[in-house]
Chains A and B, each alone.
Chain A
């Protein structure tokens, strides 16, 4: 006969969220524990950030040395986009005093998933002081009438 204690629905929900937190932390570690550059593709991943406001999602990326006129932002599907930016100069590992890697980079490249539904067709892109700013209006916003 099982002696297992019967758990309340609240215990089960708590456990579910604890597992979710653990998973998110582990996923975050995996995401961060890789180089920020790709030697084969000769690309560097830019620092980026996502801000979700009530009306829009703002994606920013830090693109030092980027040729502002050659920055490309491409929607890949409904909830992800790709940023590609050519730099004005080539950057070599040797420029940073690194001699144990060889390679040079002249392009920033990254893919970003947008966490809430947005209208990619209405995307607006600005760049100022080397910071790329992508504005994506949120979609599927509806009002619940208060009775």
Chain B
């Protein structure tokens, strides 16, 4: 574990779980999806992250302090989620520490949930979900389950670090990216991501409540989105729109 980032466990952590990640990024797709999973599966906080790299803040729930980055779980699922925009400079060490921690718990696969921004988002009714994987056998598995592969392009943000680090240390990892708004919270994209997640894992949640509460979520998520925009600018997130230079 990194000296700068520590994970403090509140209870015994199950081994062999699927580890999910929902971090603030375009459309807050991952965070909204993660919040919905926590609520639907009634996941409990099992660990939290402590780091001097984070801003000096805590989140208060029912009058009690919590770390803004926590891990929720049950016997089958571990889910790392952040309630605040993660500073661009802190993303690398935080993601690596979370992956190392999940690997120590024998997590069978790491799955990041996020978005891929499209300019004509409000004209799209059926959102596409794209997937990427850390090795050829995981890539084949998601293709066999009809996940459309993101074949060429740049990935920027927490999911990029998770994917690259997992590939390097030999941990199976998948990223699911839903078409979404760049700057606006997108609960529909989160719901589409969760439907895709159900295709490749045993994690199946009803998304009807998420879609019904869409406007409320968009209103609630404004401030986190605003601060996330600032961090996305620092990490040059718009590079995801770029056409890559092919180097074989």
Question: Range of interface residues on chain B?
Answer: 20 to 34
* Contact residues of B: prevailing secondary structure: helix
Q: Would A32 and B226 count as touching, CB distance under 8 A?
A: yes
Contact present for B225 and A64 (CB under 8 Å): no
Q: How far, in whole Å, are A62 and B223 apart by their CA atoms in the complex? A: 12
Q: Mark A24-67, 1 if CB is under 8 A from B, else 0.
A: 00001000100010000000101101010000000000101100
Residues of B near A46 (CB, < 8 A) are 222
The answer to whether the Cβ of B140 comes within 8 Å of any Cβ in the partner chain is no
Given contacts A65-B219, A130-B218, contact A28 B122 (CB under 8 A): no
Whole-angstrom distance between the Cβ of B65 and the nearest chain A Cβ = 15
User: Are B184 and A47 touching (Cβ within 8 A)?
Assistant: yes
Q: Distance in Å from the Cβ of B211 to the closest Cβ of chain A?
A: 12
What is the CA–CA distance of A129 and B211 in the complex, to the nearest angstrom? 13
Expressed in whole angstroms, the minimum distance between the Cβ of A88 and any Cβ of chain B is 9
Q: How far is the CB of B59 from chain A (nearest CB, A)?
A: 12
What DSSP secondary structure best describes chain A's contact surface?
Answer: mixed
B contact residues around A65 at 8 Å (CB): 215, 219
| A73 on interface, CB distance cutoff 8 Å | no
Name the A residues within 8 Å of B222 (CB-CB).
Answer: 36, 44, 46-47, 62
A36-B221 Cα distance, complex, nearest whole Å: 12
CB-CB contacts below 8 Å: B207-244 with A: 214-216, 218-220, 222-223, 225-227, 230
Is A133 positioned at the interface, with any CB of B under 8 Å from its CB?
A: yes
Which of A46, A64, A65 counts the most chain B CB atoms within 10 A?
A64
Task: Point out residues on A near B: beta carbons under 8 Å.
Answer: 28, 32, 36, 44, 46-47, 49, 51, 62, 64-65, 91, 96, 128-131, 133
